[in-house]
Amino acid sequence: MSPSVVAADRPPRRIGSTLMLRFEREVVTALGNAPEQSTRGAVEAFVDGSLRALPEPIRLGLLGETVILGTYVGLLRAAGRVEDTVDLRRRLDAWEGSRISYLRQYVHMFRSLVLFAENELGPDATDAEQEPAA
């Protein structure tokens, strides 16, 4: 296996990693609801860490889907069918009701991670804790 997957075992040394692809970052931004930039940053860091911690078979499958979906959205952008984050969000919402299970589960997973992090890290979280120990 490639060294970058083995690197997932080590404690994350920095926020943002080549392993979280650009499209995944866009998905996290599109699904996010928090108004504060600090929360959004923390959410993205959490999702980044979670993706890297995924079981390899699952992470690899997800990467494959990211490449396909990222390309597809890129084409839609080029065709002017997706203009901004709101458009992307609408598309993601629609995909969650798709007949294709991989599509549904892709969006569902990101949404779950984002919602959990937002509501556990944001200023009005359960007990308004500080950032997680990375």
Partner 1 sequence: MASITTEVLVIGSGAGGAVTAARLAESGHDVLVVEEGPWFDADEHEPFSLPEMVAKYRHRGAQVALGNPAVAFGEGRCVGGSTEVNSGLFHRLPDHLAEEWQRTYDIDDFDPATLARYATRVETELGVSTLPTAPPPSSAALERGATKLGWRNVEFARVFRYDEQGRGTKQTMSRTLLPKAVSAGARILPDCRVLRLRLHPGDGRALGARCERTHPDGGREILDVDADHVVVCAGAVQTPALLQRSGVRRNIGRGLKLHPTVKIAARFPHPVDHGDVPMHRVTEFAPHLTIGGSASRKGQIAMALAEATHDIDDALADWDNVAVYYAAIRSEGSGRVRAIPGLKAPLITYKLTDADMSRLARGLVHLGEVLLAAGATELYPSLVGGPVARRLDDIGQWWDRSTRSNSNLMTVHLTSTVRMGNDRALTGTDSYGQVWDHPHLHVNDASLLPDAPGVNPQAAIMTIASRNTEHLITSL
Chain residues that interact with partner 1, rule: CB under 8 A: 1, 9-11, 46, 49-50, 53-58, 93, 96-97, 99, 101, 104-105, 108-109, 111-113, 115-121, 124-127, 129, 132-134
CA distance 71 to 40: 25
What is the total residue count of the chain? 134
CA distance 56 to 61: 8
Q: Please, which residue, 2 or 78, has the CB nearer to partner 1? A: 2
Contact (Cβ atoms closer than 8 angstroms) between residue 86 and residue 31: no
CB 112 → partner 1: shortest distance, Å?
5
CB 24 → partner 1: shortest distance, Å?
14
